Amino acid sequence: MATNVDPTRTENASYDLGVASDPQTIDVRFTNVEQPIQVDESCQAEVEFQIDIHDNCCLDADALNLQVSATNPTSNAKLGPVELHPLQILSERDIRVTGRVMVSDLTSCPAEVKVSASASDCSGNVVSTAEQNGDAVVLVEDSITPNVNSSVVLDVLWPPNHDLVPIGFQATATDGCDDQVTESLVTAVFSDEPEEATGDGHHAPDAADVDADLRLRRERSGNGDGLPPRLPATDACGNTGFACSVAGVPHSGSKASLQWVQQQMSAAKAFCEANAGAAPPGFIALGLTPATGPKQ
């Protein structure tokens, strides 16, 4: 394109001739509808992006030499290879290309994914995202809670002879991103009676070996019933899952008393599960009182 030409001057007169090229641009943006992007149950997420290239002077798809890379600046996730779809010719001066990269194995949150691109026109001029608007960065997160399960073998503690007995309490935790989530399991035991309750003699604590082979005391006062162990597990991204199990000490060995304690246990478990592992109102943590009495 010639500029600065004055047609009124004679052909022998001197004049200045300047040449200017039209701007060449490249831009990357992420096209995921939801951002930050969330991983699925298997800790994978598909990061989708779009690259737009414009050059008014000399843009040739065959000589474009497009280079695209994806990196994880926070170093807390794995990235798969960049996959590019066929070029879209929007006009003789505009080209678009879409692509994706798979993200997996987050070890913390959030994980950053940066996409960089560069391209050249038919004259060999190179343009890059780093030199223009900057490389595009998007966040990838894990908001899925760990899957926690728990169970007890012995849920009715009878007779109330003050013995600390193992109840066969077992728990597991799994998480798509954190294969070490089991190590975060913490057992807490609550009762609707304090450990200092007198009743028929007094022994404490009423829960022992909480982090190993959970034992509960076969003891109740005149109105005792539910003893729900609660188990939270927290993954590397701070998501917490819960499981609730229950055991109980009936008032007596009668059928009516057994039915009553089963109802109270069911109600305590339902409350725990509906309230993110919280103990029912009035329940008190066990296993915190110094040893009292001969049965330990």
285 close to 193: Cβ distance less than 8 angstroms: no
Q: What is the Cα–Cα distance from 78 to 107, expressed in whole angstroms?
A: 9
Predicted local distance difference test score (pLDDT) of residue 202 = 72
pLDDT cut 90: percent of the chain above it = 51
Torsion of CA 254, 251, 165, 212, to 10 degrees: 120
Predicted local distance difference test score (pLDDT) of residue 241 = 95
In this prediction, residue 295 has a pLDDT band, given cuts at 50, 70 and 90, of: confident
In this prediction, residue 223 has a pLDDT band, given cuts at 50, 70 and 90, of: very low
Which residue, 159, 150, 265, 169, is CA-closest to 209?
Answer: 169
In this prediction, residue 218 has a pLDDT band, given cuts at 50, 70 and 90, of: confident
Q: What is the pLDDT of residues 121-149, one digit of tens each?
A: 888 889 999 998 889 999 999 999 999 99
Ramachandran quadrant class, 124 (left: phi over 0; alpha: psi -120 to 50; beta: rest): left
State phi, psi for 261 to the nearest 5 degrees: -70, -35
Q: Tell me: pLDDT of 114 over 90.
A: yes
Q: What is the pLDDT of residues 232-285, one digit of tens each?
A: 999 999 999 999 999 988 888 899 988 988 998 999 899 999 998 888 898 888
Q: Considering the entire predicted model, what is its pTM?
A: 0.79
